[in-house]
Amino acid sequence: MINPDIPVTDVKGLSLFKNNTVVDIYGLIKELNSRYTASGKPYVDIVLSDKGGTVDVKIWDATGEELPANTGDAVKIRGAVGEWNSKPQLTVKYDRTANPFLRKIDFNVDEVKEDDLIACAPISGQELWQRLKTMVDDFENHELKAIILKFLTQYEQELLYYPGGESVHHAVKSGLLYHIYGMVIMGEGSAAFYGLDKELLISGAIIHDIGKLKEYQSNENGIVLDRSVDGQLLGHMIIGVDMLDELACGVDISPECLMLLKHMIISHHYDETWGAYQKPMFPEAELLHHLDLMDSRMNIMMSYYENLQAGEFSEKNYWLGRRAYKPKL
């Protein structure tokens, strides 16, 4: 039930409230971590998300084991609006004798719909999957066509909801497919301009992050709940090469073609400091790296840019190493 004396807001609306205003907010727990202050006192650090973005929630004097929810759950939280590093933040002082400040949402009772809380790619997963499949159906190279269609078909259900990452870029439902599709669309024109093998480039774009399907453990809302043991010990590139070998079984594909696809997987991060095992050694692999970097960087930039007012700077982004600015033009 809603308390009429306490305003209800979403993530974007938090910035409209003065510090120390107590509000109710609905969202999905994207991350939940138990931590300790420098003096040894426990607190819980939550990243809460909805369609409009994410907000950090600090629950002081509590441990994760005491909370009635975990990563991936839809919850209602009551806390005080604050600010940290120029961003809104919600803080809660845990009181074991008080009414619950955090509870799971009952969608049959609470005045909120699950779809209102799920951050999604701007194009549905089903539509993205169908567009990619239609492109591959038109391939002239039967080797690439066979193995990429097998991948799209075998992993269709996971592709429909998997995010592109935990938090850095495309970290939304269907984010992985949206990332792939963005690379494919940009790659088509680039391949034509440079006279490259368009079908090889598209194939590399579709399978470059294949290993994330087994590196991450995601729920159907596109929230990464954990990393698999293989994901932590091997990473998505080695996993991707193993998955490609499995897909190649029973497919008419030459060793050369399979090797090219594997090279595109292990080299798309370009440098060993970013986790690559080789630098790109042929033009399509080189272009694939730049498409991956451009699409991920632009996704990070746009996630900050779209929430800015004209003439306003964002806070500094860790991954970009700089702030974003929205021109007044």
For residue 104, the number of C-alpha atoms closer than 13 Å in the C-beta half-sphere is: 9
User: What residue has token string 């084991």?
Assistant: 65
What per-residue confidence (pLDDT) applies to 93?
78
Which of 21-35, 136-150, 305-319 has the least mean pLDDT?
305-319
- Cα three-residue angle 219-221-224, rounded to 5 degrees: 45
The rounded mean pLDDT for the chain is 90
What is the average per-residue pLDDT within 131-143?
97
What per-residue confidence (pLDDT) applies to 325?
86
Helix (H, G, I), strand (E, B) or coil at 243: helix
**Residue 5, burial from CB neighbour count under 10 angstroms (0-12, 13-18, 19+):** exposed
What per-residue confidence (pLDDT) applies to 64?
84
Query: How large a percentage of the chain has pLDDT more than 90?
Result: 58
User: What residue has token string 């690439």?
Assistant: 144
What is the average per-residue pLDDT within 287-308?
90
Out of 1.10.150, 1.10.287, 1.10.3210, 1.20.1070, the CATH code matching 125-305 is: 1.10.3210
Q: Is the pLDDT of residue 5 over 80?
A: no
CB atoms within 10 A of CB 292: 24
- Tell me the CATH number for domain 8-115: 2.40.50.140
Boundaries of CATH 1.10.3210 in the chain?
125-305
State pLDDT tens for residues 232-252.
999 899 999 999 999 999 999
pTM, full prediction: 0.86
What per-residue confidence (pLDDT) applies to 67?
85
What per-residue confidence (pLDDT) applies to 297?
92
State pLDDT tens for residues 182-236.
999 999 999 999 999 999 999 999 999 999 999 999 999 898 999 999 999 998 9
Q: Is the pLDDT of residue 106 over 60?
A: yes
CB atoms within 10 A of CB 35: 12
User: Distance (Å, rounded) from C-alpha 311 to C-alpha 329?
Assistant: 9
What per-residue confidence (pLDDT) applies to 304?
79
Query: What are 112's two structure tokens?
Result: 């909120």
- Cβ–Cβ under 8 Å, residues 215 and 231: yes
Query: What are 322's two structure tokens?
Result: 């700089």
State pLDDT tens for residues 57-103.
999 988 888 888 889 899 999 999 998 877 789 998 776 656 578 88
User: Distance (Å, rounded) from C-alpha 296 to C-alpha 169?
Assistant: 6
Boundaries of CATH 2.40.50.140 in the chain?
8-115
Query: What are 86's two structure tokens?
Result: 């120029």
- Cα three-residue angle 18-68-98, rounded to 5 degrees: 55
Q: Residues 6 or more apart from 306 whose CB is under 8 A from it?
A: none
